[in-house]
Amino acid sequence: MHVPPLTALTAADPDVARLIEAESTRQHDKLRMIASENYVSNAVLEATGSVLTNKYSEGYSGKRYYEGQQFIDPIEELAIARAKSLFGVDHANVQPYSGSPANLAVYMAFAKPGDTILGLGLPHGGHLTHGWSVSATGAWFNAVRYSVRRTDGMIDFDEVRDLALAERPKIIWCGGTAIPRTIDYPKFAEIAREVGAVLAADIAHIAGLIAGGAHPSPVGYADVITTTTHKTLRGPRGAMILSTEEHAKAIDKAVFPGLQGGPHDHTTAAIAVALGEAAQPSFRDYAHAVVANAKALAAALVEQGFDLVTGGTDNHLILIDLTRRDVGGKPAARALDRAGIELNYNSVPYDTRKPFDPSGIRLGTAGITTRGLTPEHMPQVARWFADAVDAGVKEDDAALDRIAGEVRDLLDGFPMPGWTRV
């Protein structure tokens, strides 16, 4: 049963209530290993579903275009203060609706259409908004892309520097969506300073690890930092932009009125709650446990014969190349989902297959760590992976159903925020 109970919703709209109940049960019964997903606390859920969703507060604290901000301003100020304290930055904007608009605000603050920008190519682990062709950022800007080496899957900093010197970009992006290794912010900063570019660090996937001391921080190296507030940070679906005081005005102007109208105050409150949780000592334990689980799972997957891009992981994320198993990422992901293991199919560097039918799968350990799983569980998870992929190839539905039952039996021992069995 969903917690809190959906009493009013069930009475008013049983169809929607039924679907939410079914989804909450699904989230409980599966190993949720999509690298961008997690479980939020009941406190974050309550803030997200509060009466703050009724309010409009266009503008910034003390400078709103609507009345009735006596309690909204302090909520946003609290979220800002907690973000600044947690990440050690001069300035924080907590209004972006999600990660992509946050990244668009960086472009609006520091570049004009047609300017050159440099980012990691999407097939190599970058993000759509770092200048990929199907994104507005690839259409509006002269996007130049760096890559990872074929030999080890690591970023080729010689290539980054050569491209930066040749192209003189206004913005250099570091970070992305499928990078399993530690990001070398000092090297990126050195290159950006050499060519006079703004260094933008997208830490959406690793923000919680940075907050918990399990990954180096870009603070002091990057001019501006963008992040979502869910994923490893375990907050609501929102975003933040962090920066030095020098760039505060440009960032705020780009967010509002540049790209957005009124912020989502219920999300701002939930961000404040999540940031408060991330400042607790227990969150540091959590962040390090996420990495410990990922490393243990990576080692166990290698033992099961899987090929990992870069050979392993330094963070929460693992990228598997299924080429040698003679199965595509999409059918493997669907078989795993049938077996109670949720992840996504994903391109791998230098993939020869199409993006909608790639060679890889991407997974993360943030959600299963929130549930309480530890490194001792990872060999069993890896065995389920291998058995499910093999069963999918053989179209052995009985085996997939058996694994799903075993996953449910395991997860019954690990409570989930927002759900309880009745």
Catalytic positions are 56, 58, 202, 228, 231, 237
235 marked as binding residue: no
CB 120 within 8 A of CB 126: yes
245 marked as binding residue: yes
Tell me which residue of 203, 296, 329, 272 sits closest to 44, measured CA to CA.
272
122 marked as binding residue: yes
CB 231 within 8 A of CB 208: yes
Residue with tokens 């969703």: 53
28 marked as binding residue: no
The 3-class secondary structure across the chain, one letter per residue, is CECCCCHHHHHHCHHHHHHHHHHHHHHHHCEECCCCCCCCCHHHHHHHCCHHHHCCCCEECCEECCCCCCCHHHHHHHHHHHHHHHHCCCEEECCCCCHHHHHHHHHHHHCCCCCEEEEECHHHCCCHHHCCCCCHHHHHCEEEEECECCCCCCECHHHHHHHHHHHCCCEEEECCCCCCCCCCHHHHHHHHHHHCCEEEEECCCCHHHHHCCCCCCCCCCCCEEEEECCHHHCCCCCEEEEECHHHHHHHHHHHHHHHCCCCCHHHHHHHHHHHHHHCCHHHHHHHHHHHHHHHHHHHHHHHCCCEEHHHCCCCCEEEEECHHHCCCHHHHHHHHHHCCEECEEECCCCCCCCCCCCCEEEEECHHHHHHCCCHHHHHHHHHHHHHHHHHHHHCCHHHHHHHHHHHHHHHCCCCECCECCC
Residue type, 403: I
Residue with tokens 């399993």: 180
Residue type, 297: L
128 marked as binding residue: yes
Q: Is 103 left (phi over 0), alpha (psi -120 to 50) or beta?
A: alpha
What residues are designated binding site? 122, 126-128, 245
What residues are designated binding site for (6S)-5,6,7,8-tetrahydrofolate? 122, 126-128, 245
